[in-house]
Structure formats: structure tokens, C-alpha cells
């Protein structure tokens, strides 16, 4: 029988970080994960360089960059452990990093540097604190007996564990090939906690074969766009790069908007956000005898210009022979392209999972649930960030808040 202060289920970003902070507060932590590979999501993120935080985060206004039933829930944790705090830790460990754009920070060399840093933090236990890691280790059962000092009895593939507190850091359903499961949601429901229905987020959008037929040959083509969805106060707009795929659209623009897109509703694209195309085409008509598609390729990738013009015979002419109204319709179509996705690429391609353990069931100060001694942190909670390091910062911040609360509750006086 193994007895510990804290059992943390899930050795990803949130779980690893929480374990290290808790151990440095003098707690004995057992960290377990069913996957043989450690922190695989960190390793593959950011093209292998891990976009580990974002300096644009405004902790006072989480709703600007996070979504969920109540994004303001994240305010307390994000305020107490900021992007600047994590950057200071990265600098303390001598990890070189750079800003790509829009506040996104990446490791210069490899995401492995970040994983190694988190492991060193786990090894730096103070006041007798420690982190023991069981991996791979499957969780078989969790029972609450309300018996001091170890109210939680846990069965694992490596034996029985008694714990004073349990932290669920199991992530979401995204990228099942690296081990994602619904374990965290099942544990929440086991203890009577509400779960907001999970769904893929930061995910490519797909279209029916018939709708996409004119654009399927554009796979691999990328360009900067404005993208939006929703109406009125619910309307969201992003300025990012769009990527055409064989089945639909991807790239940062689409990943961002996918978190807000509702099934059955359209998205709107401005393919030339920096150009008044109606005026530009009108001027070109006075000066050039080019075919419309050739003229259009001055502002758009030529493959896209050809595919677009092929949709309407009125545009398949030389500029001087094309009616002004047709050119205006072309400009409007490119700047106000409305299309309705059929769906998404699902969890296999989703970077994160929206939904999760309802924040109404949790303390925003400690991340403890209504079930005494049971905590939830990171992606398993109904807090989802934008693309660009926001979700990792939520992992660090929620893990830190949880560890601090555990130390205050469990540390011997």
C-alpha cells in the first residue's frame, strides 16, 4: 500500500507542473499516467517547439481569449500565475525562446527542453516534498471513504494507493493517438459533478464533397484572411492565415474560428482584407487587357484566382470585356465569401477539447470540486483558450493554484 499526500492523475502540462509546485511546498506527490510517453502533447505542440504561453493574455479579462460557460472563472488563477511568471521560470532554467507573433512564445530548440524543465521542477522538492512517477500505470478505481487522514483509496495497475487528495489532470479527448481518453469526465460524473458536453476545438473545418469540389485542388495553398462567425455581440473575427485542404479549410484562421463556430451556421471570409478589390479591378480595367483571372493573380495566389473565376462565365473574359457589375460582384464574392461547413475533422485533428468539468462545480481559487479533496486542472475543465499558447498558460495557472491550495490544506503546521 502506497500512501501519499496527493495523487495526480495525468502527467501532461498541468499535472507535471502541479506536481513540481506541490513537491516544492513539502508535499509527497504520486503522479501517474497510462501512457508510456511523458507529456506527449507538449512534445508535439508548436511544430515540436511548444508555444508555451502568450504575453497578450489579460488576466483581468479572460473572456477576451478564453471560452466556456463562464470564462471569468479563469481570472483568479491567471492573475496569480501569469505568463510573465512562467517566462521567468523558463529563463531561470536557461531555455532560449522567441516570440513568433501576437505574443506567442516558442522554445528556440525543442519542446523537450520544456519537458526536461518540468521534470527538474518535480525533482526539486523542498521541505521533504517529493514526486514519484508511475508510468505507464492505469487507473482502475477511485473510492472516497471520508476517513482521515487518507479519504481516497485508489486501485492502479501498479498497486493500491491511499491519498489525502486527488487531482485530475487528464486533459481532453483531442488527439487520441497520443493517449487522450474521457477518464477525467468519467471521474467527475462518478462523484456527481456536471460536465459541459465536450467538443473538438481549434480544429479544421470540412465541407461536403460537392460543395468543396471547386476548391479541392487548392490543397496546400495559404493566404492571410479575415474570418468571422456569429451575429451581433456573439460575432467573432480573426485576422490569421487560411490553409486550403483536400476536405476543407484549416490554418490558424480556421482553428481559431472553429472554437466559436456552431454546427449548421456559416462562416464568412474576406480573402483580401487589405485590398479594396472593387476599386483595384476598376482601375485595372482602364489600364490592362489581361484576362480577369490573370489580373486577379496580382492580389491572390494564381491557383485561387483561376479556381474562383472558373465558377462564373461572366468573369472568364478580358478585363475590358467584363461588365463593371460583374467585376463588382467578383470583388464582393471574394471579400464576403459565406460558406457553411459540414463539420470538423474531429478529435483526431483537434488541438484541444472545449467543454469539460463545469466550472460551477469548482472553486476558482483552489480548483477543488464540490467533492472534498478532489481537484480538476487544465484542459479537463470547461476553460478553452485561443490558439497561440493560451491553453498551456491555463494549464500552468490552474496547476499552480491547485498546488498552492493543496499545500495550504495538507502541509504540516
Kindly list the domain boundaries of the chain, sorted by start residue: 2-199+353-410, 204-345
Identify the CATH class of 204-345: mainly beta
- How much is the pLDDT for 128? 84
Identify the CATH class of 2-199+353-410: alpha beta
Mapped onto helix, strand or coil, the DSSP state of residue 360 is helix
pLDDT (average), residues 140-154: 94
- How much is the pLDDT for 40? 94
- How much is the pLDDT for 413? 47
pLDDT tens-digit profile of 177-207?
999 999 999 999 999 999 999 999 999 999 9
What is the distance between the terminal CA atoms of the chain, rounded to a whole angstrom? 26
pLDDT (average), residues 119-125: 94
- How much is the pLDDT for 359? 98
pLDDT tens-digit profile of 235-273?
999 999 999 999 999 999 999 999 999 999 999 999 999
How many angstroms separate the CA atoms of 386 and 36, rounded?
29
pLDDT tens-digit profile of 267-323?
999 999 999 999 999 998 898 889 999 999 999 999 999 999 999 999 999 999 999
Q: Indicate whether 412 pLDDT > 70.
A: no
**Burial call 73-112: b when 16+ CB within 10 Å, e when fewer:** bbbbbbeebbbeebbebbeeeebebeeeeebbbbbeeebe
pLDDT (average), residues 90-99: 97
Mapped onto helix, strand or coil, the DSSP state of residue 386 is coil
Say if 2-199+353-410 and 204-345 have the same CATH topology: no
pLDDT above 90 as % of the chain: 95
Mean pLDDT, the chain, whole residue set: 95
Amino acid at each position: 500500500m502506497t500512501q501519499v499526500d496527493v495523487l495526480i492523475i495525468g502527467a501532461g502540462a498541468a499535472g507535471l507542473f502541479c506536481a513540481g509546485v506541490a513537491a516544492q511546498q513539502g508535499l509527497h506527490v504520486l503522479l501517474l499516467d497510462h501512457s508510456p510517453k511523458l507529456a506527449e502533447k507538449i512534445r508535439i505542440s508548436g511544430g515540436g517547439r511548444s508555444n508555451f504561453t502568450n504575453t497578450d493574455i489579460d488576466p483581468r479579462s479572460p473572456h477576451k481569449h478564453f471560452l466556456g460557460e463562464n470564462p471569468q472563472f479563469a481570472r483568479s488563477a491567471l492573475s496569480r500565475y501569469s505568463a510573465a511568471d512562467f517566462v521567468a521560470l523558463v529563463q531561470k532554467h536557461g531555455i532560449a525562446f522567441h516570440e513568433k507573433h501576437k505574443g506567442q512564445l516558442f522554445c528556440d530548440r525543442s519542446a523537450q527542453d520544456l519537458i526536461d524543465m518540468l521534470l527538474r521542477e518535480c525533482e526539486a522538492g523542498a521541505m521533504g516534498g517529493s514526486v514519484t512517477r508511475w508510468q505507464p500505470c492505469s487507473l482502475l478505481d477511485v473510492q472516497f471513504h471520508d476517513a482521515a487522514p487518507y479519504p481516497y483509496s485508489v486501485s492502479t495497475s501498479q498497486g493500491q494507493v491511499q491519498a489525502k487528495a486527488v487531482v485530475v489532470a487528464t486533459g481532453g479527448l483531442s488527439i487520441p493517438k497520443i493517449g487522450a481518453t474521457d477518464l477525467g469526465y468519467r471521474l467527475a460524473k462518478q462523484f456527481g459533478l456536471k460536465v459541459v458536453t465536450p467538443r473538438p476545438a481549434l480544429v479544421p473545418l470540412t465541407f461536403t464533397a460537392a460543395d468543396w469540389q471547386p476548391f479541392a485542388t487548392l490543397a496546400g495553398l495559404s493566404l492571410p484572411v479575415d474570418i468571422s462567425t456569429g451575429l451581433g455581440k456573439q460575432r467573432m473575427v480573426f485576422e490569421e492565415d487560411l490553409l486550403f485542404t483536400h476536405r476543407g479549410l484549416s490554418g490558424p484562421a480556421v482553428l481559431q474560428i472553429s472554437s466559436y463556430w456552431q454546427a449548421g451556421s456559416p462562416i464568412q471570409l474576406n480573402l483580401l482584407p487589405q485590398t479594396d478589390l472593387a476599386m483595384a479591378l476598376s482601375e485595372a480595367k482602364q489600364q490592362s487587357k489581361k484576362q480577369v483571372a490573370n489580373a486577379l493573380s496580382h492580389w491572390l495566389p494564381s491557383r485561387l484566382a483561376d479556381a474562383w473565376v472558373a465558377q462564373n462565365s461572366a468573369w472568364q473574359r478580358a478585363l475590358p470585356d467584363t461588365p463593371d457589375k460583374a467585376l463588382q460582384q467578383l470583388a464582393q464574392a471574394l471579400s464576403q465569401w459565406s460558406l457553411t461547413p459540414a463539420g470538423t475533422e474531429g478529435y483526431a485533428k483537434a488541438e484541444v477539447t472545449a467543454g469539460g468539468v463545469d466550472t460551477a462545480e469548482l472553486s476558482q481559487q483552489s480548483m477543488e470540486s464540490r467533492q472534498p479533496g478532489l481537484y480538476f486542472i487544465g484542459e479537463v475543465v470547461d476553460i478553452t483558450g485561443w490558439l497561440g499558447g493560451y491553453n498551456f498558460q491555463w494549464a500552468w495557472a490552474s496547476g499552480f493554484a491547485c498546488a498552492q491550495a493543496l499545500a495550504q490544506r495538507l502541509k504540516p503546521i
